A and B are shown apart, each in its own frame.
Chain A
């Protein structure tokens, strides 16, 4: 059950990030930081299906995360969710076609190691 919940957390969190990124790119760069412009930009974001799907997916991820914490120790659940960095980077490369250089991969893998250490204790 714990493994299943962690798998759901990782998959939904990754999908949420990919959908949010896709939607934010579809609705255009945020360049005008004036209050009225930001309100209009928010309206455009809320009307974008990818962003809405992303937010719903992230909410599911959060619920699965809380459920996992209810049955398993924090020191197991939180390090395991570091897998979202691998999922997110692979998804960014294949689905969003971002250029992931060797330096970026190396940095990401070191970050994952760090996140596991930080959250284990």
Chain B
């Protein structure tokens, strides 16, 4: 259950953060080149807020990985694509094509399958791993 909540809040933070950064970046002018654009973005409230949410996303993603398998977390967090599509549709008025809906449906089916497997490999198995000491 903690894996579910950690990853759900993590994906919400990521999708809302993406929408906020995306909204803020649209008001940043690129006419004067890269460096002025970066400076301008760093002062844009939507960009700052969105970036903070992306930091929250990363912290929660890492938190889940402190107990759950990467091979569990990686495919399950692809559900973020579904949230991204939904938020982009509702808040940024981006159109969603039929192909995109089909992909969204496939991701949901895949995530349900992966979520049915135990999130954590029992630790006696992990102790022999070359990546684990």
**A interface residues with partner B (beta carbon < 8 Å):** 17-18, 20-22, 24-30, 42, 45, 51, 84-85, 88-89, 91-93, 95-101, 103-104, 106-121
Asked if A110 and B106 sit within 8 Å, CB to CB, the answer is: yes
Closest to A45 in B: B62
Task: Report Cα–Cα, A107/B97, bound state, in Å.
Answer: 23
Asked if A98 and B70 sit within 8 Å, CB to CB, the answer is: yes
Asked if B69 and A92 sit within 8 Å, CB to CB, the answer is: yes
Asked if B110 and A107 sit within 8 Å, CB to CB, the answer is: yes
Chain B interface size, under 10 / 10 to 19 / 20 to 34 / 35 or more? 35 or more
Q: List 21 interface pairs A-B (beta carbons < 8 Å), by A numbering.
A: A25-B132, A51-B62, A89-B75, A92-B74, A95-B129, A95-B131, A96-B69, A101-B117, A103-B116, A107-B75, A107-B117, A108-B114, A111-B107, A113-B106, A114-B78, A114-B106, A114-B107, A115-B78, A117-B99, A118-B100, A121-B103
Interface of B is mostly: helix
Task: Report Cα–Cα, A116/B106, bound state, in Å.
Answer: 10
For B117, what are the chain A residues with a Cβ–Cβ distance below 8 Å?
101, 103-104, 107
**B interface residues with partner A (beta carbon < 8 Å):** 59, 62-63, 65-67, 69-72, 74-75, 78, 81, 85, 97, 99-100, 102-117, 121-122, 125-126, 128-133
Task: Report Cα–Cα, A21/B65, bound state, in Å.
Answer: 5
Asked if B66 and A29 sit within 8 Å, CB to CB, the answer is: yes
- Scoring B85, B129, B130 by chain A CB atoms within 10 A of each residue's CB, the highest score goes to B129
For B115, what are the chain A residues with a Cβ–Cβ distance below 8 Å?
107
Task: Report Cα–Cα, A117/B108, bound state, in Å.
Answer: 13
Task: Report Cα–Cα, A119/B103, bound state, in Å.
Answer: 8
Asked if B97 and A92 sit within 8 Å, CB to CB, the answer is: no
Asked if B110 and A109 sit within 8 Å, CB to CB, the answer is: yes
For A116, what are the chain B residues with a Cβ–Cβ distance below 8 Å?
103
Asked if B129 and A26 sit within 8 Å, CB to CB, the answer is: no
Asked if B99 and A121 sit within 8 Å, CB to CB, the answer is: yes
Asked if B114 and A107 sit within 8 Å, CB to CB, the answer is: yes
Task: Report Cα–Cα, A22/B70, bound state, in Å.
Answer: 9
Task: Report Cα–Cα, A68/B85, bound state, in Å.
Answer: 22
